[in-house]
A = this chain, B = another copy of it.
């Protein structure tokens, strides 16, 4: 079998490790995590223990030193078993990449070592109540005070809010003329003024601990700046956006694969007592499965192609980053919908696990850049319009 992300042997080994953890740990707890809206502690610990926190941390800082292809393959394996865990992982790796990009971040290398050692879980805190899903335009503000900074912000959805050891966060720089003049900085666990307000209760990804977080005049020492003042957009668009997009695309692909696998098993297993035939003998059901597979494999193949563009430094890479997230979000929504329609009553109840996958798959439409953003940005890029205007 050819892997659609064209991974090297080291990455394949990491993906196999992830698949084993998914099967042995994530799959066991996923239903309970979902039902009780609880953090997937066992699953996150297993990932940390296997060294996968540091999958893309440079070897010099104790990481595996692997790239985006490995990230995609690993995330896909995790997502197939527990969407919430995969979400936490994508946010962690994306935030860790932001940290790794922070030239002036004090203690960066020790932090990366803690990440690689599985001792530090990080996450992104970008979206805000006031800007809704326009994460690139924070309404929160930094104030300068005696060579240091303070931040007030109402972050609206922070994954791992109560469990992360740090947040990679955004705000307008002091005296910003526009929300686009943002700065990226690190907020450390236990910093004064950080308040997780309320637990998440939503349709899907119910274990991803996505909560509003208030930063009430939180002090940000100079050494905690990740981007230069006013240059947060660079970090957001050139570092976080590609990693987040590739990661969430892979996550959606993993949900699709789970839907395909569950449907395949159900069609081959369930029988009609009065005729002895199986569900797979119904042509419309197996045609729907073929459609599901086709959408899934197209989304996966496009992710592989986007990785080629990114690796080769192609001018079209940013467009393909948007497109692969777009394709995979739409595939996840459509494929899990088809799976529900194909498996009928068995899917509607809990025992196939399919309705959880169906619910988890909808989360992608909610997180920025949403499908509507992706269509709009891609459309602008294709017709030569500026992205933000």
Contacts and interface: CB of A to CB of B under 8 A. Distances in A.
Interface of A: 1-2, 4, 6, 129-134, 137, 139, 156-157, 179, 200-204, 260, 264, 267-268, 270, 272-274, 280-291, 293-294, 297-302, 304-305, 308-309, 312, 314-316, 320, 323, 326-327, 330, 333, 337, 340-341, 344-345, 347-350, 355, 358-359, 362-363, 365-367, 370-372, 374-380, 382-385
A-B interface, 7 closest residue pairs, ranked by CB to CB distance from nearest: A286-B379, A130-B273, A290-B378, A301-B301, A298-B298, A2-B308, A280-B383
B290 A131 contact: no
A365 B344 contact: yes
A293 B378 contact: yes
B301 A379 contact: no
A348 B298 contact: no
A131 B350 contact: no
Contact of A375 (B287, B304, B320, B327): B287
Nearest to A363: B348
A287 B377 CA distance: 8
Contacts of A273: 129-132, 139
Given A132-B273, A290-B326, A297-B320, 7 more contacts: A1-B315, A133-B344, A200-B349, A293-B378, A301-B302, A340-B365, A348-B366
B362 A340 contact: yes
9 contacts: A1-B315, A6-B308, A133-B345, A200-B349, A264-B383, A284-B375, A288-B379, A293-B378, A348-B363
A384 B301 contact: no
A124 to B, nearest CB: 15
